[in-house]
Homo-oligomer: A and B are copies of this chain.
Amino acid sequence: MGRVFSQSERLTDAMRSVFVELLVHGPMSRAEVARRLALSPSALTKVTKPFIETGYLREQLTGEGPSTVGRPSQPLQVDASRMSFVGIKLTADELYAVRTDLAATIQEETQRTLIDHDIDNVLGQIAQTVADLTEEDRPLSAVGISLAGTATPSDPVVHTSPFLGWSQLPLARLVEEAVAVPTVLDNDVRALTAVQQWFGEGVGHSSFALITVGAGIGCGMVIGDRLVTGRSGATGLVGHLAIDDRGPMCEQGHRGCARAYASSPAIRRSVATALDRPELTFDDCLAMARDETRDGHPVARRVLDEAGTALGQIVATVANITGPELVILSGEAVHMYEVCADAFQTALARHTHWTSTPVPVVVKPFAFNEWARGAAVTALQHLLLHR
**A residues near B, CB below 8 A?**
149-150, 207, 219, 221, 223-224, 226, 228-242, 244-245, 252, 313, 317-318, 320-325, 351, 353-356, 359
Contact = CB atoms under 8 A, between A and B. Distances in A.
Given A321-B317, A322-B321, A323-B230, A353 B245 contact: no
Given A242-B351, A355-B237, A231 B323 contact: yes
Contact of A321 (B318, B325, B353, B354): B318
A115 B356 CA distance: 30
B223 A356 contact: no
B322 A235 contact: yes
Contact of A359 (B149, B231, B236): B231
Given A234-B356, A235-B323, 11 more contacts: A150-B355, A219-B321, A221-B322, A223-B223, A230-B322, A233-B323, A234-B320, A234-B323, A234-B353, A237-B320, A240-B353
Contacts of A244: 244-245
A320 B150 CA distance: 13
Per assembly, the copies of the chain total 2
A236 B322 CA distance: 6
Interface centre among A223, A237, A239, A242 (most CB of B within 10 A): A237
Nearest to A219: B321
Contacts of A150: 355
A312 to B, nearest CB: 11
A385 to B, nearest CB: 14
Contact of A353 (B229, B232, B239, B359): B239
Nearest to A316: B242
Nearest to A251: B354
A240 B230 CA distance: 24
Nearest to A239: B353
Nearest to A318: B321
A36 to B, nearest CB: 18
A210 to B, nearest CB: 13
Contact of A324 (B231, B237, B318, B356): B231
B356 A237 contact: yes
A236 to B, nearest CB: 6
A-B pairs with lowest CB-CB distance, top 8: A230-B323, A237-B353, A235-B323, A237-B320, A234-B323, A234-B356, A231-B325, A231-B323
Contact of A323 (B207, B228, B313, B324): B228
A354 B323 contact: no
Contacts of A321: 219, 221, 235-238, 317-318, 321-322
Contacts of A242: 313, 351
Given A241-B317, A321-B318, A207 B231 contact: yes
A325 B230 CA distance: 7
